[in-house]
Structure 1
Amino acid sequence: MAANDISADVTVVSIPFSLAVTPDGAKKALQETLKGFDDVTAGALDSFSERQLVCTYLCLHWIADRSRTVLRHGPYLDTLPSPERLMTPLHFTPNELEAFKGSNLYGATLDRRRDWEAEWAQCRDVVAAANPTWGEAFTWDRYLTTSTYLSSRAFPSTVLSSTPTLHTTPSSYPVFLPGIDALNHARAHPVSWVVSDRTSTSISTSASPEPSISLVIHTPTGAGSELLNNYGPKPNAEFILGYGFSLPNNPDDTIVLKIGGPSGASAPVPADVKFEVGRNARGAEPVWDAVLAAIGAQYGDEEEDSAMETETSVEDELCAADMLAEMAQNLYDRLPPFPPANVAELRGQVVDMLDHYLEGQRDILRSLVAFAQEKEARALQRAKEEGLDVVEEGEEEEEMEE
């Protein structure tokens, strides 16, 4: 909270780079803490992911002697929420998680738990090899807590570049910025990240000559009001899975789709390709192209003459439109009901997250069905203009009944 009125364009928090928790710094601390067992830890630490390095480093603050100088983020850990206050799906009760069954988020939660448990087991084995007592204390709950801190509080390392940005890159990695990460999210809240180096005079002072990262808020904040950050545009699926909160009527909501079909090098759509569609069918065109390509690969005939190719193209479009609409409708029908039958057993915050999430998913899928119907109407109009005789599905069913 702001103790006094704060005008616009003011730096509200700043920390030196040296205070950040980075994978490289975590690895060096682990090497020092586990010193004496280099034959066990050397190769293992090299194989750790950035999350494993940072989370193992943070966990050691709870199970090793904090007087070790390399374990220097204990005071920061003490300021973070206790495990009981974490609200991501991996902290849901079984009944709460079951309420999401049938959604992409339910499957993503199971995938995340499987992946994180495998990481934890690998880290625990390395710690236990160096110190069996520490290994016993290196519990799944502790690793889950630090992993949740990482998913909900870390920023991409791109914020530490000379031109700070929240956009990730293939080479970026998560970093903790103690103090800065205490600010909650407000969508579209105008903020700027500013990096100062030793030669900068805009923010650095004689008391902090080393490079620093600062957050500037561009709107006034009244005394007693909460200081807010902007985590960037994210869908509720990401907010719930990674942060443990959601936004009502989130304009940035999306659904992730995969297009089934033949696999292999010759497949029209690679099996690992995913498509993200937002509200008002934003991003649906690539999905349409993929469905159309899959239909063409399944029913196309390269030996058809040019006259037949035009007719087949229209037929492919009609078939693709029907397939896309059916896919979206099936996903819609699979979504869990709201409110769930066991709503009385769920915490209020979980009920809100479920409500906000399902509203976005249903709205997107309805818009995708409408998108497919529009494609179908255009294909029928094209067939009419080209004088092609196309029997619509409803008419075909009536003829069969007769």
Structure 2
Amino acid sequence: MEVLTPAEEAAILHDCPGVLCPLLDMTNHDPGTCVQAGLLLREETPHLGLAGPAGTEAGKEVFNNYGQVRTNLQLLLGFGFCVADNPADTVPLKLGTSPAVRASKLKLQALAEIGLQLDELHELSRTEPLPARLLASLRVMLLEEVSLSAMMEAVGSGRLLATLQEPLPPMEPEPHCELEVLDALKQQLLQKRAAIISPLERPATAKPVAGNNERNAALYRQGQLEVLAAALQAVDGAQRTWCERHGVDLDEGEEEEDLEEDEEQEEKPPAKKMRL
């Protein structure tokens, strides 16, 4: 083995903790195993070794652990594979905002007080399909300024985030604002799901692509769809719970909101609504 001179060794910049390990990176992923990789000295020659706490029986497969809490996107970009039913998988979701929201000093002030940003990236997961910060952001964006101002004055800046992370009670002049928040989120989730499903709808004459790349892409999309399904189910559950708690029939509430909107449109020009 060639040995570096002192001058060559001094010129090396140790700025990267990673190293390419041929053959070692071909081991399959097992998030339940615990392994250690490092250099072993054998007859004064360093070797790269992989060791598990219980060892590996002869003829059995040697597994590696590429990270217990890595999403399929992280595994795909970092190691080139995805796993099925990945419990750590997430779906990123960024809320769009209308010019009216961006122009509202009150809404921007409220978001600043609770430590949220208009373009914040929220991550939905199986364990947290409806992040509290995501719902708080939507409530700030969709509340009328008069309602938001009254809330900020009543609870103060110290309790504003905790208040906005809870479902909104019926209030005037918008008794069903919480249902509007959940419906806006539902539309975002449906659009996200449609964007994932649409590439799968190939013409019948299209030739399927085989191989690991196609398999990993399918696993990634499936994980995204499963997280979105959990989020949509959580939205439906939150709508039912809110209606039961406040004695509102969900269908009647929706019909009443539609009727009010139609009447308002007849009386005045259409208001600029937020488009998420």
Trace 1:333-344 onto structure 2 (pairs within 5 A). 333-335=194-196, 336-338=198-200, 340-341=202-203, 344=207
In 1: Cα distance, 2:226 partner to 2:171 partner: 34
Aligned twin of 2:218:
355
Aligned twin of 2:184:
323
* Alpha-carbon offset, residue 237 of structure 1: 2.1
In 2: Cα distance, 1:376 partner to 1:282 partner: 14
Q: Tell me the secondary structure at the aligned position of residue 260 of structure 1.
A: coil
- 1:307-339 CA-to-partner distances (Å, cap 9, x unmatched) read xx8515863322211111111011112223436
Q: Does 1:231 align with 2:78?
A: no
In 2: Cα distance, 1:365 partner to 1:358 partner: 11
- TM-score, length basis structure 2: 0.62
* Alpha-carbon offset, residue 222 of structure 1: 3.2
- 1:245-275 CA-to-partner distances (Å, cap 9, x unmatched) read 2222323221111122245964723144211
Trace 1:58-77 onto structure 2 (pairs within 5 A). none
In 2: Cα distance, 1:275 partner to 1:229 partner: 30
Identical pairs, percent: 20
Q: Does 1:393 align with 2:254?
A: yes
Q: Tell me the secondary structure at the aligned position of residue 92 of structure 2.
A: strand
Q: Does 1:246 align with 2:82?
A: yes
Aligned twin of 2:139:
292
In 2: Cα distance, 1:322 partner to 1:347 partner: 39
Q: Tell me the secondary structure at the aligned position of residue 133 of structure 2.
A: helix
In 2: Cα distance, 1:248 partner to 1:285 partner: 27
* Alpha-carbon offset, residue 345 of structure 1: 5.1
2:51 to 216, 221, 236: 216
User: Number of aligned pairs?
Assistant: 227
Aligned twin of 2:272:
none
Amino acid at match of 1:284: P
- TM-score, length basis structure 1: 0.45
Trace 1:132-211 onto structure 2 (pairs within 5 A). 174-176=17-19, 178=21, 181-193=24-36, 207=44
In 2: Cα distance, 1:299 partner to 1:364 partner: 35
In 2: Cα distance, 1:322 partner to 1:397 partner: 13
In 2: Cα distance, 1:213 partner to 1:298 partner: 63
In 2: Cα distance, 1:303 partner to 1:399 partner: 23
| Residues 91, 125 of structure 2: 8 Å contact kept | yes
Q: Tell me the secondary structure at the aligned position of residue 344 of structure 1.
A: coil
In 2: Cα distance, 1:215 partner to 1:282 partner: 37
Report the CA distance shift for 1:271/1:216 in structure 2 as closer, same or farther (over 3 A). farther
Amino acid at match of 1:311: M
Q: Does 1:372 align with 2:208?
A: no
Root-mean-square deviation (CA, aligned residues, Å) is: 4.4
In 2: Cα distance, 1:240 partner to 1:382 partner: 43
In 2: Cα distance, 1:382 partner to 1:356 partner: 39
| Residues 33, 63 of structure 2: 8 Å contact kept | no
Q: Does 1:273 align with 2:120?
A: yes
Amino acid at match of 2:247: K
In 1: Cα distance, 2:147 partner to 2:9 partner: 55
Trace 1:90-109 onto structure 2 (pairs within 5 A). none
* Alpha-carbon offset, residue 381 of structure 1: 2.6
* Alpha-carbon offset, residue 343 of structure 1: 5.4
| Residues 280, 364 of structure 1: 8 Å contact kept | no
